[in-house]
């Protein structure tokens, strides 16, 4: 029907028709697949939620005299960074915590500040405090460095997240009789609330369930700037059960993404604190889906009432690694504010901001319509549904003996 | 009739006195204790819903102040930092008073501070720490 190259020609001429993943649903209902497929070139998706496997690497520039941070110890605003690289490269992970944070010693821990907050401050253009020690060598004699850093002075600052953008996610409840504090938020006893974490019908991988357009090299909206899909994300698990519409009804594919932090904005990369759990980074991602044919439009047109997920107990089953669902619900039900479980109404809360996901899809649409964002052809596919690629638990083998 | 929610701060020396009881006995006011605790500094803190005739209400407040209880209106206690809030909505099922509501159309979360009973449950569970206590 149309190729990415043809879409890009239309973007350059200002003739492209882009709509959001939300708008397309109504459009297809009104006009039918065939007609909409001939009219719409691109559908934009969006998601904004906590994504723990995120981080930033920097090159801070060489000092005079030189210091080799590699193998030494580096902290930014008291948060430890990873320094197992060359002289001036470091990586800070979203969930890293200052050594002196009490963690869960005072239960539930508050986790007020960590790597994700450092990342948000750096993106916001604030000065941060770097303290480093090194062992000193003949070529890198210096052993100590204390300085303020600002993003504008760094050689490179790159967001590189090894797992983002989960294709679908669990709904968490608590079957026990005491309150629990999880990465899915605070869960009240006896199924007092049910928390979910997805943008549903706006979420990128739910709209391209078989990864027919999203692949390695796909250009995306990342943290308010431009990024790319670098790889499939860790724990990518494409072979899970799917509905007839192809959409997985439990967590499945994931993306590893990369992009220039210098273009990003703090409102799309937000440090968050999960009570009793830790610090994480809420990341905004938007992926354009080229409507290459009617089949792809068919996937994109699925609404919240056609996308399902599983309810999981986080008091016992999840922590013990026991599989099993307490029930299946649609995102339309989740979004209504309550779901019915075991004959009872349970109020729902989302950790992922739907209104922000919507703004991302709108923003990306605007970039495309204004000619500021061209699509890319993926250079390689993500491991597919039938690839046999799967997610395994660790088989522990005792040490020693 | 006046119907107000207020926060009372009791200095340490008054914590075990039957002060609130006198609001009913001497001033014919009705109260509902929404929250009460003793801070680590041993100051007593109580959130009260107080109702009664206007002049009684005024006198009751004056009585509290005369014995050394500090009083402040409730609505200014919990404030949402609009730039921090991401409108995720995870606070909605946690709020016991229906002060945090998801708008089904805009998918933004409204904060009705007149409904807030300052239980502070949202303050710690908000991942963005957008709900702030201002004393
Ligand atoms: S939990 Fe916090 S960020 Fe989320 S909607 Fe409530 S106040 Fe806003
Ligand atoms: S403090 Fe927060 S949770 Fe408690 S009533 Fe007010 S808004 Fe609701």
Q: What domains sit in chain B, N to C, each tagged with a CATH number? A: 2-76 (3.30.70.260), 79-133 (3.30.70.20)
Measured between CB atoms, does A143 come within 8 Å of chain B?
A: no
Which residues in chain B have Cβ-Cβ distances shorter than 8 Å to A112? 129
| Cα separation, A215 vs A211, whole angstroms | 7
Question: What pLDDT was estimated at residue B76?
Answer: 58
Cβ-defined contact of A282 to B91 (cutoff 8 Å): no
- The secondary structure of residue B118, as a DSSP letter, is -
Catalytic residues of A: 139
E strand segments, A261-362: 269-274, 278-286, 288-290, 308-313, 327-330, 338-341, 344-350
CA distance A55 to chain B (A): 18
Q: Between chains, do B88 and A348 touch, taking CB under 8 Å as contact? A: no
Ligand nearest to the CA of B7: 2
Burial class (CB in 10 A: 0-12, 13-18, 19+), A143: middle
Residue of B nearest to A356 (CA): B86
Which residues of chain B carry a pLDDT beneath 70?
A: 74-76, 135
- Is A112 in a helix, a strand, or coil? coil
- A48 touching B (Cβ < 8 Å): yes
The pLDDT, as a whole number, for residue B33 is 87
Instruction: Specify the pLDDT at position A3.
Output: 98
User: Helical H runs in B78-125?
Assistant: 121-125
Least Cα distance to A271 among A155, A163, A114, A126 occurs for A114
Please state the atom number of ligand 1 nearest to the C-alpha of residue B128: 3
Q: How far apart are the C-alpha atoms of A306 and A45, rounded to whole Å?
A: 17
Check residue B119 and give its pLDDT: 83
Cα(B96) to centroid(ligand 2), Å: 7
What is the pLDDT at residue A394?
94
In sequence order, the 6+-apart residues with CB closer than 8 A to the CB of B82 are: B130
Backbone phi and psi for residue B5, each to the nearest 5 degrees, phi listed first: -105, 130
Please give the ipTM for the structure prediction: 0.92
Distance from CA of A192 to the nearest CA of B (A): 8
Nearest ligand, CA A273: 1
pLDDT at residue number B75: 57
User: Which atom of ligand 2 sits closest to the CA of residue B120?
Assistant: 1
User: In this prediction, what percent of chain A has a pLDDT beyond 90?
Assistant: 99
**CA B97 from chain center: how many Å?**
11
pLDDT tens track for A113-138: 999 999 999 999 999 999 999 999 99
Q: Whole-model pTM?
A: 0.88
* Subunit contact B129:A355, Cβ cutoff 8 A: no
CA A44–ligand 1 middle distance (angstroms): 25
The pLDDT score that the predictor gives to residue B16 is 81
A34 CA to centre of ligand 2 in angstroms = 49
pLDDT tens digits along A239-289: 999 999 999 999 999 999 999 999 999 999 999 999 999 999 999 999 999
| Positions in chain A whose pLDDT score sits under 70 | 401
| CA-based torsion, A333, A335, A339, A345: positive or negative | negative
pLDDT of residue B134: 77
- Return the pLDDT at B12: 85
Question: Measuring CA to CA, which residue among A266, A335, A98, A340 is closest to residue B103?
Answer: A335
Contact at CB, A48 and B107, closer than 8 angstroms = no
């Amino acid at each position: 029907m149309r190729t990415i190259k043809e879409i890009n020609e239309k973007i350059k001429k200002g003739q492209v028709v882009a709509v959001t993943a939300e708008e397309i649903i109504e459009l297809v209902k009104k006009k039918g697949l065939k007609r909409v497929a001939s009219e719409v070139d691109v559908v934009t998706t969006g998601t904004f939620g906590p994504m723990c496997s995120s981080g930033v690497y920097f090159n801070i520039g060489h000092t005079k005299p030189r210091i080799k941070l590699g193998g030494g110890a580096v902290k930014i605003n008291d948060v430890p960074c990873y320094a197992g690289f060359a002289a001036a490269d470091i990586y800070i992970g979203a969930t890293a915590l200052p050594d002196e944070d009490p963690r869960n010693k005072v239960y539930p821990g508050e986790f007020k500040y960590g790597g994700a907050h450092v990342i948000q401050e750096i993106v916001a253009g604030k000065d941060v405090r770097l303290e480093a020690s090194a062992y000193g060598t003949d070529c890198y004699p210096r052993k100590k460095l204390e300085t303020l850093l600002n993003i504008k002075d760094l050689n490179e600052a790159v967001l590189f997240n090894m797992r983002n953008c989960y294709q679908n996610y669990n709904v968490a409840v608590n079957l026990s009789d005491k309150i629990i504090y999880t990465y899915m938020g605070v869960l009240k006893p006896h199924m007092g609330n049910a928390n979910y974490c997805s943008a549903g019908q706006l979420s990128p991988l739910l709209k391209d369930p078989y990864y027919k357009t999203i692949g390695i090299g796909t250009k995306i909206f990342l943290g308010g700037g431009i990024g790319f899909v670098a790889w499939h994300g860790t724990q990518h698990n494409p072979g899970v059960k799917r509905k007839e519409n192809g959409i997985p009804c439990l967590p499945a594919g994931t993306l590893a993404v990369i992009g220039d932090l210098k273009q990003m904005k703090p409102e799309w990369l937000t440090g968050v604190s999960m009570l009793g759990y830790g610090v994480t980074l809420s990341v905004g991602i938007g992926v354009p889906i080229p409507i290459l044919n009617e089949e792809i439009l068919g996937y994109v047109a699925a609404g919240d009432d056609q996308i399902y997920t599983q309810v999981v107990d986080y008091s016992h089953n999840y922590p013990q690694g026991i599989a099993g669902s307490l029930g299946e619900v649609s995102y339309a039900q989740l979004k209504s504010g309550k779901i019915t479980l075991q004959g009872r109404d349970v109020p729902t809360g989302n950790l992922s901001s739907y209104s922000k996901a919507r703004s991302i899809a709108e923003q990306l649409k605007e970039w495309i319509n204004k000619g500021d964002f061209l699509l890319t052809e993926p250079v390689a596919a993500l491991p597919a549904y039938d690839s046999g690629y799967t997610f395994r638990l660790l088989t522990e083998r005792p040490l020693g003996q | 009739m006046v119907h107000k929610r207020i926060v009372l701060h009791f200095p340490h020396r008054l914590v075990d006195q039957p002060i609130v009881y006198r609001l009913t006995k001497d001033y014919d006011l009705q109260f509902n204790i929404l929250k009460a605790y003793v801070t680590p500094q041993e100051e007593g803190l109580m959130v009260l819903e107080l109702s009664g005739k206007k002049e009684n209400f005024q006198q009751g407040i004056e009585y509290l102040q005369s014995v050394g209880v500090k009083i402040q209106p409730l609505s200014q206690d919990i404030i949402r930092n609009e730039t921090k809030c991401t409108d995720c909505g995870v606070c909605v099922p946690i709020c016991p008073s229906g002060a945090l509501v998801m708008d089904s159309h805009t998918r933004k979360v409204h904060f009705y501070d007149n409904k807030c009973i300052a239980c502070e449950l949202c303050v710690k569970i908000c991942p963005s720490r957008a709900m702030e206590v201002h004393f």
